[in-house]
Structures are given as structure tokens and as C-alpha cells.
Amino acid sequence: MSTLVTGGRGFVGRHLIDQLVAEGEEVISYNRDYSVDHRETVTAVQGELFDVPRLIDTLSRYSVDRIVHTAGQSHPGVSIELPISTFAANADGTLSVYEAARITGVHRVVFFSSECALGDIDGPGPVREDITPAPTTVYGVTKAAGEMLGSVYNSLYGMEIVSLRITEVYGPGLWMPSLLGDMIRAALRGTAFRLEAGGDHPFQFVHVDDVATAARLASTARTPGRQTYFVSGGEQKTVRDVAADLRIRFPEAEFDIGPGFLPDWDRQVEYDLSASHRDLGYTPAWPWAKGLDEQIEWIKTTEFR
């Protein structure tokens, strides 16, 4: 079996490829930038998402059986500053992947959607996948579009596109801007971390290895019963909770965080993972405390030597 991973050199892509290699899979890592992977079972291919002929040639040449599509602009805040490029990378790029898969007969595609496809959710949780998307950012719109395009391709062309609504990812290798990373760095530096508001804002953190596991399972599961699934760590934390957990590890750390919600961040609730567990076999393996300790250690060893 052969799996193509778009964005194979990205944050989640690297962890996913490591898992696939450990499972004995042949992997094609498809990236816009030149890359090299010396493992015998990994082939690195340079190409853009919008280059459909390049995608078709790659899928055909390496007899790809399935695709895990992780590539794209992956930060909702960036989409506020760069809406056109975000839409081009995420919506147009995803459509190109689906079309190349259709033309070459690759039926199973795993699409990396996001909780941001849903927008603000007010009310009690946990919520199930049948909630109506109402995105509040261009990033969220592109993820909702990817889900809907997947549903259309499944209906019209008999494909098996599975969309994973992934929550706030953390773990080693996360170089993108993140609130958790900023809070950890402040604690390591011994400087105060201040926010005028946001202490009550909830996050549904999920470790990068759990996300990679969910994607791997979705790529090989029998015909799923749904088109969308939630992928989270199963434990919700407010910003104030995170500060309290960090104070346990850094007693001298200073966190001055006001109440309320974070601007430009969607308000989320707890997600029901029963469908992901039933259909995909997914259960988060990384408890928050263990993952937080690993995140702290990674930042300490890579940035505070």
C-alpha cells in the first residue's frame, strides 16, 4: 500500500509519515519546497497543490492508494491578514487534490478540516458532527468548503473523502505562533505573561501524535459511516487553566490574564468523539499533563540551550 501525504514536511505531516513508516507503508511526501528523506520507504516529491498535472503524474507514477491532505495555510489568525492567499492555498488547493484523486482513481482522501469550520459555539457540550458550520474567518470558510467539496465528490464520483475536524494541535515541532507556546516561553524566561482578556476562553488541545494517529486510521478504515469526524484530545482547558498548570511546573511564573474571551478566536465547546472511536478506532492516547511536559521540554531544548 502507498500513501501520499501533502505537506509531509509540515508539523503534523512529519509525525504522520513517521507513523506510516513504522507501519511498513510506502510513503510519498509531497511538498512545495524541495526536501530530501533518506528512508527507503519514503519518496520526496516537490510540487504545488494547484499543479494538477504534477499531482496526477505523482499519483500514477507511484501507484498511490490513498491521500492524506495536510498541506495549506494552517493558522486562522494569518487568514485575517492574508485572506486571498489563504483561500487560494486551502480551498483551491484542496479542490486540486480532490480532482487529481478522481482522475487517477484514488478513492480515499483524508482532508484536514478544523474546529474553525464551525465558528463560535455557544451552549453546552459535547456537540456532535451534525452541527451546522458557521465559520467566522476566511480560514474557517476554507475548511467548511473542503468538507462540502468532499461531500459533493463522494456523492457525484463515488469517492471516500473523510474530513477530520481537528482542534488546537500542540506538541514537539510546532513553530507556528501559538498561545500555549507564548505562555511556556514566558515561564522559561521568567518574564510576565499578560493578556487584558481571555482567561475564560476554552481550548480543546490535542497532541500532534494523536492527530497523526487519527489521520492514519481514517486513511485505512473501512467505508466510514460519516464524512466528518471530530479529532481532539478529549479534555478542555481554559487559558486560566493552562496558566494554573504552568504555575505548578514554574512556581515563580507570573500570569496576568483578564476574564472573558480572546478576540479573533472562535469560542468552542467540548466535542463528542464517539463517532471517531466507533468508525475510525480513534482514542486520544496523550493525556494533557504528559503532553504539556513534553511541549515544555521541546521548547526548552530547542530554544533555551
Cβ-Cβ contacts under 8 Å for 153 (sequence gap 6 or more): 98, 102, 159, 161
Is residue 184 domain-resident? no
What is the number of domains present in the chain? Answer: 1
Supply the CATH number for residue 215's domain.
3.40.50.720
In the chain, the percentage of residues whose pLDDT exceeds 70 is 100
Query: Beta strand pairing status for 228-231 and 66-69?
Result: unpaired
Is residue 156 domain-resident? yes
Residue 259 has pLDDT above 90, yes or no: yes
pLDDT of residue 77: 74
pLDDT single digits (tens) 170-209: 999 988 889 999 999 999 999 999 999 999 999 999 999 9
* Overall average pLDDT of the 77-89 stretch: 85
Is residue 182 domain-resident? no
Residue 268 has pLDDT above 90, yes or no: no
Give the whole-angstrom CA distance, residue 258 versus residue 255.
10
pLDDT single digits (tens) 13-49: 999 999 999 999 999 999 999 888 989 999 999 999 9
Is residue 13 domain-resident? yes
pLDDT of residue 113: 97
Residue 130 Cα to chain centre, angstroms: 20
Give the whole-angstrom CA distance, residue 96 versus residue 98.
5
Residue 305 has pLDDT above 80, yes or no: no
The pTM (predicted TM-score) of the whole model is 0.96
Is residue 119 domain-resident? yes
* Overall average pLDDT of the 233-251 stretch: 95
Give the whole-angstrom CA distance, residue 150 versus residue 39.
32
Residue 227 has pLDDT above 80, yes or no: yes
Is residue 224 domain-resident? yes
Is residue 92 domain-resident? yes
pLDDT of residue 304: 86
Q: How confident is the model at residue 57 (pLDDT cuts 50, 70, 90)?
A: very high
Q: How confident is the model at residue 74 (pLDDT cuts 50, 70, 90)?
A: confident
pLDDT single digits (tens) 87-104: 999 999 999 999 999 999
Q: How confident is the model at residue 224 (pLDDT cuts 50, 70, 90)?
A: confident
Q: Which domain holds residue 272?
A: 2-173+204-234+268-285
Residue 171: φ, ψ to 5°: 135, 180
Instruction: Give helix 288-303 / helix 179-189 axis angle, nearest 10°.
Output: 60
* Overall average pLDDT of the 230-258 stretch: 96
Give the whole-angstrom CA distance, residue 185 versus residue 143.
30
Residue 229 Cα to chain centre, angstroms: 12
Is residue 100 domain-resident? yes
- On average, the pLDDT of the chain sits at 95
